[in-house]
Structure 1
């Protein structure tokens, strides 16, 4: 059988008889392709089966704790591809995900997990984290890892305090007296001498070694990975400093020299690990704030058995042509066909279409959509897969292949470390020539811990943690330290329409129906399950002043009739696909669209018909209300734009950022935004795969940020250079995004840009302060005045300056 023709934009199937004019799966894809320029099909197919083009190959997605930089990505990719039977591997530290293509005949998933569980990395299958319980269990594991990091920090502080006492009472006074010219022997009156003081140094050396290899283990592990990959990073920079200071102190001890820098090793190891621990806790706090989000994937289904009863089974047990019961309010577990009857389905979570869809017997139902009325019995398709699962797989695929950018501090370390090492080698060579082997060793080691800007290991995680905390205080959740960096590079912001620029809830926009008729229609609609009916029914829940013309204004409601139950007042109710009719207090009412009124042969004036067509073309939903065979007016329902949407677009335009609106709704529903001067393009009727392809097309001209809220936005959020999910959205949208706005406040998109600018300035300030240590110690070293007292003083001042600067507000007063 020939493969079906595929969309020129998103590569989705469109049928075997496509022509050049019909080479698109939707009008939206055609509009995008012709507006942004033809570039051939964008291969974004994301089949959920996990089959690769190579014969017999399968894909697995693994969640890996412990990845924190681009070096980790390269290390894990190499470790995976070095295993026999692995064809390819792509990792992303931003999402802690690695995608592996492998031959199941040669290697198993368990063996892959074992291979990647090394030097501090822990691995679990990504698909195992699909329920709320799974997520909570993983977060508990993360807390245990954080507790271990906290234990290392506590050990460093405890031993550090123990070590500082002898330094304060012995080492520092000796150097201070030597500086003042009183001589170090004056301190040891009463029979003590330098030799006696040096007797405690073996204890210092042992304790410092414990701190170095226990407290500093996270740094040493990162340095090891950096060396293996020959890619210097911040961990290596700090590790070189603390190990060189320790080795220098050990050599000095063996040669009876009081210039021992064990205190510097302990100070740096303890403080840097403390800031890493603080950063970890801050990120964990951000994760915990999202625990209320629900997981959209369905894991079980109610399958009909041969005797007519239903049994709850895992969806993996479903087979083609199985019959599945989906009750009102439940999600459709897999794609299938409605076997009999009719129902109303909300497909917004998958397709992005804001209005519910009425399904009849024989119509296809999309896995992941919600049955909003009447319930449904579906026959499972072949193969038994879900469109929602396909979206989830698409998100994972995009996340695993989108590598995290190298942090600014890592890029700086990559340039600095080779230079420092080169200078140290030259200093060692000069020292050997002038002072012998011992002098050369000490000179080289001295350069390594004096010239290395270890303060970056303090300023970077501290700046990241404070930036994340500042974002949290504004209701913005950030998980990745490169988010602000990527946000500052944004050239284009793409907004989803439904639920992002609009409220996402159907409500009454306006009506010209007399109050009495509207009240009775609302009472009749209490018997309907359609969201449009529920919106009209809500009109009786609160009182409002009647207008002089007998109608009700935008957002207004009317008083309910006298207190009687609906069943006493409403009778002879008959539901239709597009409306409802019934008797209310003896009057016959019909509520529905123009087609229903024509079908029931009810009279509709030309004025009402003209208004209804106009509202429909504007993207709203006009509902006709009639009594006793004649239409009396319209209730217009719609998805209100958010109050702040125009202000947000104006502010983005002021930043010279172009705006694009992307929606699954038809063009009429997005016409409001098409007319706004700040909007460069509006692409309507675009399916999820088309949204992802649109993002890729826009990325050809710059960096793209996507703002969305629905599961159907997930792949596009993951594909964008940066994704922002509104808090009222779905779990998959939040998982795919880099930023989540908790309070569903669109104005926080602009706040995120302000935070990004503030974070950059704060990082620059902290970096300058962190280099203060080197600005002090390097001249002292060149002058020959360097000693533990000055080095520790410079270190303490650097830490205090960076910490105090980090506590200042990031934005605002």
Structure 2
């Protein structure tokens, strides 16, 4: 039994502060099986060791368990020359074998590799490994450069297709004229002259890729094309050279048309693939090149790189916001449709947040910068969408396994076809043409493109409507969700309390509000803001008050027009020996609804109750419609909250949620989700830090974009607007996307399972096989692009 390959590792280590830390790391590394010659250098913060080549993840885990970190970074590589899923798989295997590589994912549709490496790993080694495998690669640079390169390659593809077709179509003319009784044939020398440039020049890329794959001991689509067309071209040369009299049977038109049709298919496929990434390009186009900075009253246009946090930026009407920030001066509206999916412009005034990429409306604004570059909301959205589009769905593992054995199986089928036809007594010519048809019709491209194109189209259209799908696994699982668990505050209800009910014993509710607002003026308490907002809505004047005093744990008191008033909780009422009187029944009813009560009292000259105020969080406008939409899809809803049972029950009944869990502590939420997962596929919807464990525990975590960064990082899906109706939309786009993946895979497999036997039976000539092969890839991508027509359910 051979011993495992040993490699030399240099691990960067973070968190060591002294010699004992280095010794602890060394002990941790020695516990990994097969490790030898460990040396930890505290000064350079590195560990040098020898270990089995496949033990890098174990080494990282061991260091992590010891309380230290092996830092890593992500490298994006743009790759040229991939033609099918087996190419992407080969590059992935090559990258995963390189020193310092933790993981590598290659996306055939985007022609990019996302490589997670140890910090300090030189990308040059990765590029050289890819080049040795027969492909060209470069570190993905600026977006504009990548776009220019892609556009240039597409134009070059178009010219190759046009020239190849110009040479091939004349070869087809005799066949096209034959049904009309015209029996005419190009001279053999002219057929040779037209077909040879196509075979040797326009197919040169196929030959190069086939040779490189052969050198690497792998199979790909190019080998099938090269073998098939070379066989037809070679047979034609042989027939021409050995002909003694008359016009020999030549197949130059077959080899030339196969190549031209495949080139045409690849061109159409490239155009379609660019459309699947249109969402990313639309988001990237939102980023301005610079901003109008104001310093000491002077406005100056500067690049984004010259900006700093805290800088003041002038945004003129119609211009895009270049940074995330807070409005410092001015009033306007902002169109955030492409960022949050919110169709209506949002009002902006001093203190409001603005987002880079949004369009300013009618007013001039001065914005104080709070986030720049990669830290802006727009940049984070782009990263999330790019990561999701580059990710592999679990179902794609099946395709990877199939692609590794696909080409060898097709070659074997072609050999069997050749042998069987010869054994049946057919001529060499017939046997060879049928074998060529088998080689040409086989299409691993369709298999390789089936899943990533659907994911790219689905995540792209979702992002346009304010739904950010962070990873492919969440996308694949979301369509199976049978239960949605909602957090209450901030998810289904507004996070800030509002005045819901008020009752004045003398019947004058306006005076009751004015007196309560006078006491609350200047207070930062959320209930105080609710009272003042209620006065503002009714356009009531708030009278001045004197001798205002906070009553710790009870409320607040003050003097208004010679009367001492107080506003507070039930303990304040009891402290002054006052009873609830005729308000007792009303208070009990409002408490059953989960409302917070405040009593307005007159303390002097006469101690008495003046009225009662009830506060509570209001339901979000789309909350009831969100639950109803889930019910229509057969998905049950649960409400999980740390609030009191009365409040939780009231919200659940108002929304039509049958199961509610009250007084659930943050650490208990994750356990409850795990319990629900035993019978259902669970999606958790939340927005706060306390929801993060539950979001991570759920099959699918859905974070409200109005919530905390912690919640969004723990979730697989983020809703950019605080609209709970987007939950049903997220599950629907997941269902549609997964449906497209299944359709694509079905047709890709069915195409090969039907096409290869037909070709082997002699029922398809090589040209039709070539056309069918080109059509299969284009149809798979075009089917995925139908997702771009998806729209959320219309809002009432």
TM class, shorter-length: 0.5 to 0.7
Distance of 1:759 and 1:806 partners within structure 2 = 10
- How much does 1:507 deviate? 0.9
1:427 corresponds in structure 2 to: 414
Distance of 1:503 and 1:794 partners within structure 2 = 55
After superposition, the Cα gap between the structure-2 partners of 1:272 and 1:89, relative to the gap in structure 1 and judged at 3 Å, is closer
The yes-or-no answer on 1:588 pairing with 2:543 is no
- How much does 1:683 deviate? 5.2
Contact 1:242/1:264 (8 A) holds in 2 = no
Contact 2:76/2:140 (8 A) holds in 1 = no
Contact 1:662/1:683 (8 A) holds in 2 = yes
CA deviations 1:255-293 (Å, max 9, x no partner) are 5341212223323332333333322233554788999xx
The yes-or-no answer on 1:571 pairing with 2:546 is yes
Contact 1:453/1:771 (8 A) holds in 2 = no
1:745 corresponds in structure 2 to: 723
1:304-383 paired onto structure 2 within 5 Å: none
2:267 corresponds in structure 1 to: 270
Distance of 1:587 and 1:780 partners within structure 2 = 99
Distance of 2:681 and 2:114 partners within structure 1 = 22
- How much does 1:166 deviate? 1.8
2:363 corresponds in structure 1 to: none
1:23-172 paired onto structure 2 within 5 Å: 52=63, 54-55=65-66, 57-60=68-71, 62-63=73-74, 65=76, 83=99, 109-111=119-121, 141=142, 144-145=145-146, 148-168=149-169, 170-172=170-172
2:245 corresponds in structure 1 to: none
Contact 2:564/2:602 (8 A) holds in 1 = yes
The secondary structure found in structure 2 opposite 1:503 is coil
Distance of 2:662 and 2:202 partners within structure 1 = 63
1:498 corresponds in structure 2 to: 489
Match of 2:527 among 524, 529, 532: 532
After superposition, the Cα gap between the structure-2 partners of 1:643 and 1:157, relative to the gap in structure 1 and judged at 3 Å, is same
After superposition, the Cα gap between the structure-2 partners of 1:773 and 1:110, relative to the gap in structure 1 and judged at 3 Å, is same
Distance of 1:465 and 1:146 partners within structure 2 = 17
Distance of 1:807 and 1:82 partners within structure 2 = 39
The yes-or-no answer on 1:792 pairing with 2:771 is yes
- How much does 1:199 deviate? 2.8
After superposition, the Cα gap between the structure-2 partners of 1:493 and 1:59, relative to the gap in structure 1 and judged at 3 Å, is farther
1:381 corresponds in structure 2 to: none
The secondary structure found in structure 1 opposite 2:703 is strand
- How much does 1:534 deviate? 0.8
1:446-457 paired onto structure 2 within 5 Å: 446-452=437-443, 454-456=445-447
After superposition, the Cα gap between the structure-2 partners of 1:795 and 1:78, relative to the gap in structure 1 and judged at 3 Å, is closer
- How much does 1:720 deviate? 2.7
After superposition, the Cα gap between the structure-2 partners of 1:283 and 1:680, relative to the gap in structure 1 and judged at 3 Å, is farther
Match of 2:640 among 648, 659, 662: 662
Aligned Cα root-mean-square deviation (Å): 5.3
Contact 1:727/1:741 (8 A) holds in 2 = yes
1:542 corresponds in structure 2 to: 537
Distance of 1:427 and 1:800 partners within structure 2 = 25
1:454-473 paired onto structure 2 within 5 Å: 454-456=445-447, 460-461=451-452, 463-468=454-459, 471=462
Distance of 2:598 and 2:580 partners within structure 1 = 14
Higher alpha-carbon deviation: 500-509 or 470-479 = 470-479
- How much does 1:110 deviate? 1.1
CA deviations 1:72-110 (Å, max 9, x no partner) are 9999799679758x9x8799999x99888xxxxxxx621
The secondary structure found in structure 2 opposite 1:500 is coil
The secondary structure found in structure 1 opposite 2:269 is helix
Unmatched runs of 5 consecutive residues or more in structure 1: 1-48, 101-107, 122-137, 231-235, 292-311, 314-328, 330-391, 544-558
Distance of 2:529 and 2:225 partners within structure 1 = 72
1:710-789 paired onto structure 2 within 5 Å: 710-763=688-741, 779=758, 782-783=761-762, 785-788=764-767
Match of 2:594 among 612, 619, 630: 619
After superposition, the Cα gap between the structure-2 partners of 1:638 and 1:750, relative to the gap in structure 1 and judged at 3 Å, is same
Q: Give the count of matched residue pairs.
A: 593
The secondary structure found in structure 2 opposite 1:111 is coil
- How much does 1:615 deviate? 4.5
Distance of 1:731 and 1:147 partners within structure 2 = 34
Match of 1:407 among 363, 372, 395: 395
1:203 corresponds in structure 2 to: 197
Contact 2:706/2:721 (8 A) holds in 1 = yes
1:598-637 paired onto structure 2 within 5 Å: 601=576, 603=578, 605-606=580-581, 608=583, 615=590, 618-629=593-604, 630-637=608-615
Contact 1:50/1:60 (8 A) holds in 2 = no
The secondary structure found in structure 1 opposite 2:496 is strand
Distance of 1:413 and 1:50 partners within structure 2 = 27
- How much does 1:540 deviate? 1.8
TM-score by length of 2: 0.60
Distance of 2:168 and 2:441 partners within structure 1 = 19
CA deviations 1:368-424 (Å, max 9, x no partner) are xxxxxxxxxxxxxxxxxxxxxxxx9xxx9xx99xx964236x635644774664353
The yes-or-no answer on 1:518 pairing with 2:513 is yes
The secondary structure found in structure 2 opposite 1:642 is coil
After superposition, the Cα gap between the structure-2 partners of 1:671 and 1:658, relative to the gap in structure 1 and judged at 3 Å, is same
- How much does 1:425 deviate? 0.6
Distance of 2:64 and 2:668 partners within structure 1 = 22
The secondary structure found in structure 1 opposite 2:694 is helix
